[in-house]
Amino acid sequence: MKKIISLLIIYTLAFAFMAQAQARTSTTGKINFLFGDVKIVRASGKSIPATLNSMVYVGDKIITGEKGSAQVVLTDESRIRIAKNSEFVFKKATDEAGKKQSVFGLNFGKIWAQIKKLGKDDKVSIETPTAVVGVRGTIFVLKQGDVTKIYLGEGELSFLSKLLKTEIPLKGGFVATLGADGKFTDVREMNDQDRNDMMQGIPIFIKGMQGDPKGQLKSEIDDEKNNLWKNKQFANRLKNEDLSTGRTVKDIHGNTVRVEQIFRKSGADNFQILNLTKRVDGIHYFELRMFYNNELPDDLRKWGEFFLDDNTYLTKRDMTFGTKKGGGTGDTLLWRGMYNPATDEFDDYYFFNGVQRYADSDNMNLVGSTTELSTAGELQLYSDPGMTTAAEKITIRMYIINDQGTILSEQYFKSNNDILSLFNTTGGEIILESASFNHGAIDVVTIPDIIYVIIQEAF
């Protein structure tokens, strides 16, 4: 039992950490407004039509056609509007030791950008074939053609010539041009004609815009809020509030089930994760409770520091699989691990429907499939510590599945390097069967979503 549950935990945690890592290091934003012919060229070279809410990753290019335009909202809610006949590249996005660095590229065409005010050590730059623009919370328009031209609406920025390695500062209300020879010309305060030229060709997305037959443009751009990338307003004080997620999926039998997850700080020194699978016959659930030697911070944002403290360690873990059916009846199997300081290991205890049992979980005879991500085995429980009197026997089956209930293969993961996509469409299913269960099998579908949310909030 320990091995099969450990597989489940490892899968969920690893997958969530991988997704979170990719979200922080490779996701730069999403397309929240779109019009006409727009495509995304992934870092792999694959070209796909852009759609509303398409995610944009490091290495991606957005290319607009003669009648195409788009707006990308970045993770910090900065906005970049890409005009027609343009190619914009998302080159780099890092966040290390609290220092954020983003590098974009305009190969040709025109963009309007509103960059949020940066932190002291943060850097944002936009490269063209001839120039590098360094920004720190500004509104500007950048145009790349035979020459590079920048219009600075407000704020300050630096304008660097790649060829001559010379740099000039610009302040709000000024315009500057960089020629193909690497020399700056026409550096001056904007006039009325410049202001008109500045916004020419820049898309303005408004509610009910003509030429938007699909109704993709839902509100005026200045009122649009990027809900995906806003910091979730989860309570920092976890004493009174929980975190929750959910997903409707199919299991391996083809049944549609609703999976809901709840995370809560259930005591001063412990937390609980509850994974509920809602089926026609009732609720099948998996519950995890973790206890520590020190009190957990009330502020979830401090949990990362708490877990990285060498003086913090786990004292007890409870993992329960069960069912709740009509009249509150059901079956449960609890695996408890108690930390033993003398051996620096966990002593295992089992409880079948509340009755203590004993088992050698190293002799489960786990067998994995050679073609699918699945594992099967048996756990023999005993009624005495010496394990001479056999009691219940439990058959265990575990699968890695997608949202349609298809059992996935190792090759599927090898051929799909989009971790966020995998995270959003993949889960696990663990089935416990025993002739001693009073209410049938325990069949729990799990998703990694809540772990991802916790990591996102805590680290």
Looking at the chain, the whole-number percentage of residues with pLDDT higher than 70 is 81
User: Could you read off the pLDDT of 136-178 as tens digits, one per residue?
Assistant: 778 899 999 999 999 998 888 999 999 999 999 999 899 999 9
How is residue 104 written in tokens? 């974009």
Question: Is CATH 3.40.50.10800 the classification given to domain 28-223?
Answer: no
Find the Cα–Cα–Cα–Cα dihedral 229, 233, 238, 242, rounded to 10°: -80
What is the SS3 assignment for 12? helix
At residue 8, does pLDDT exceed 80? no
Which residues, 6 or more positions from 406, have their beta carbon under 8 angstroms from its beta carbon? none
For the chain, give every domain's residue range: 28-223, 231-458
Amino acid letter for position 389: T
Q: How far apart are CA 47 and CA 63, in angstroms?
A: 10
Strand partners, 37: none
At residue 458, does pLDDT exceed 70? no
Nearest C-alpha neighbor of 374 from the set 405, 331, 336: 405
User: Could you read off the pLDDT of 341-391 as tens digits, one per residue?
Assistant: 888 888 889 999 999 999 987 777 778 777 888 888 899 999 999 999 999
At residue 28, does pLDDT exceed 60? yes
Strand partners, 299: 237
